[in-house]
Amino acid sequence: MPVTIRRATIDDIICMQNANLHNLPENYMLKYYMYHILSWPEGSFVATTTDVDEPQMDQLSLEDGKGQETKLDPNYLAPGEKLVGYVLTKMNDDPDQQDQAPNGHVTSLSVMRTYRRMGIAEKLMRQALFALNEVYGAQFVSLHVRQSNRAALHLYADTLEFEVLSVEKSYYQDGEDAYAMKKILKLDELHPKNFANRKMAEKLEDDFESDLLVA
């Protein structure tokens, strides 16, 4: 199953929002995706595959020829091109933090359930970290993650070597605490080619329970 990682464009945002709604309780209005892509067009990425049942063309068209609108399938970016993951990033543009070195923020990352544990999130993240540093001059990048999200914590802390800066109490709407995490970015260490054939000496134990969203 070939998976392509490419830069996200404005045409991808409906699918990105759809994936976000499937995978995470933290959801955003479309204009917030637009804000990311239009302001930092090289910072966000999607993972796509063509190894899917080809959707009917009319699933993708807005108009059925008789002047009636047909429903778009939000899983498909184009006929046969399905979104399987995304990472949405931005530069920190908080006017209260202008004294800080330029820095990026990972707003949202997710991979569709049947495509997990294939290295897709790691690749999306490495592309985004490289771009934030190379294109926008980010000296470091930050993110928040739920304390209970063990899969994401393994990804950030072990695979990508983020450090935990602090615990932010009741950061999430349901009252859960967040780890605030940070990684210093160094261009020579970040180049995606360094990781093309990465082999883990030691495999972490799967923790599939942590993928489950609590209703």
Contacts to ligand ACO by CB under 6 A:
23-24, 106, 108-111, 116-122, 143, 145, 149-152, 154-155, 158-159, 200, 203-204, 206-208, 210-211
Q: What token pair was written down for 37? A: 């892509």
Beta bridge pairs of residue 69: 63
In the complex with ligand ACO, the residue whose CB is nearer, 1 or 57, is 1
Least distance in angstroms from the C-beta of 124 to ligand ACO: 8
Closer of 23 and 133 to ligand ACO (Cβ) = 23
The nearest distance, CB 104 to ligand ACO, in angstroms, is 12
Give me the torsion for CA of 111, 117, 120, 126, rounded to 10°: 110
Is the CB of 56 or the CB of 194 nearer to ligand ACO? 194
Least distance in Å: CB of 183 to ligand ACO?
A: 12
CB nearer to ligand ACO: give 54 or 94: 94
The least distance separating ligand ACO from the CB of residue 23, rounded to whole angstroms, comes to 4
CA distance 22 to 62: 23
Smallest gap from Cβ 14 to ligand ACO, in A, equals 18
Instruction: Check residue 206 and report its DSSP letter.
Output: P
d(CA 8, CA 45): 5
Q: Are 197 and 161 within 8 A, CB to CB?
A: no
- Taking the complex as a whole, the smallest distance from the CB of residue 198 to ligand ACO amounts, in Å, to 8
Q: Give the integer Cα–Cα distance in Å for 168 and 162.
A: 16
Distance, CA of 12 to CA of 125 (rounded, Å): 17
Smaller CB distance to ligand ACO: residue 79 or 119? 119
In angstroms, rounded to a whole number, what is the distance separating the alpha carbons of residues 185 and 131?
10
| Phi, psi for residue 63 in degrees, rounded to 5 | -135, 135
Angstrom distance (rounded) from CA 88 to CA 110 = 9
Query: Which residue's CB is nearer to ligand ACO, number 77 or number 116?
Result: 116
